[in-house]
Structure 1
Amino acid sequence: MPVHLNHTIVHARDNRESADFLAGILGLEVGQEWGPFIPVVTGNGVTLDFATAPADRITTQHYAFLVSEPEFDAAFARIQRAGVIYYADPHGQQPGQINHNDGGRGVYFLDPSGHGMEILTRPYGGGPALAAQDGTSPLS
């Protein structure tokens, strides 16, 4: 059996705020609260379980989400509408821009707890793009 990532815990100052933020940007649903966790399930079945933690226990992490071109357009529009500061690079040196790495598009932004979020349309190294959920073929 191949190994698949099933879930990971994302520490947040406010688990509801962070789950709602990410789900809103990505166009995903927030799941039912389960104990201390508020889940957001990605399209490939990986669950991000947001858990409230004291600020001094939150270690900033990076989460990258591979999306189709139409999904990128929708998420990027939500980022802009929400007034979220975004960057073309992970170090925040290119504010207000997106990148075109590996023939795709990508953008970085912070969630409410300071985690680095990234959406990209091509995996690093120029791997294949994702097909849109409507069944259209990916851009080449």
Structure 2
Amino acid sequence: MGHVPELPVTSVHLNHTAILAGDRQLSAEFLAAILGLEVGAPFGPFLPLDLGNGVTLDYYELRDEPIQSQHYAFLVPDEQFDDMIARLEALGVTYYADPSHTEPGQINRLFGGRGAYFDDPDGHNMEIMTRPYARP
């Protein structure tokens, strides 16, 4: 196998990803409400949610098929975290300090920040965190 040249880390960025949903409108609006964002106009079979950092979540509707739970983590501004928790509470959505959902109604304080996990309408395990994970 030949030598593969190394690319600078900054040359690759996630642009968009599809999130499977039983009802794309319901799921996109749910996450938009929690994060304080707006759902975009439909784009073909997708309903986009622009995260504002060049990444779009494209909700794609699957009817009559089971949806495999995925994990999506969002780095959010610390000053908006409390508002997001308040919106979860207002919607009656239980949040957890841990990804296994064993610590209901609590947040974590990993890496000097704050974080919480919650399920979206399709059972995707969503995470909001104010500090990125420290990596070795």
Q: 2:12 aligns with which of 3, 6, 15?
A: 3
Q: 2:60 aligns with which of 51, 54, 72?
A: 51
Q: 1:111 aligns with which of 120, 123, 132?
A: 120
Report 1:1-140 matches (<5 A): 2-54=11-63, 56-125=65-134
Deviations 1:7-55 (A, max 9, x none): 0000001000000000000001100011211000102120000011135
> Once the 2 structures are TM-superposed, how far is the Cα of residue 57 of structure 1 from its aligned partner?
4.3
Unaligned runs of 5+ in 1: 127-140
> Once the 2 structures are TM-superposed, how far is the Cα of residue 122 of structure 1 from its aligned partner?
0.5
Corresponding residue pairs, total: 126
Amino acid at match of 2:36: G
Superposition TM-score, scaled by structure 1 size: 0.86
In 2, Cα distance between equivalents of 1:81 and 1:122: 24
In 1, Cα distance between equivalents of 2:57 and 2:83: 21
Identical aligned pairs, as a percentage?
Answer: 57
In 2, Cα distance between equivalents of 1:36 and 1:57: 18
Superposition TM-score, scaled by structure 2 size: 0.88
In 2, Cα distance between equivalents of 1:119 and 1:57: 25
Amino acid at match of 2:92: G
> Once the 2 structures are TM-superposed, how far is the Cα of residue 68 of structure 1 from its aligned partner?
1.0
The structure with more radius of gyration: 2
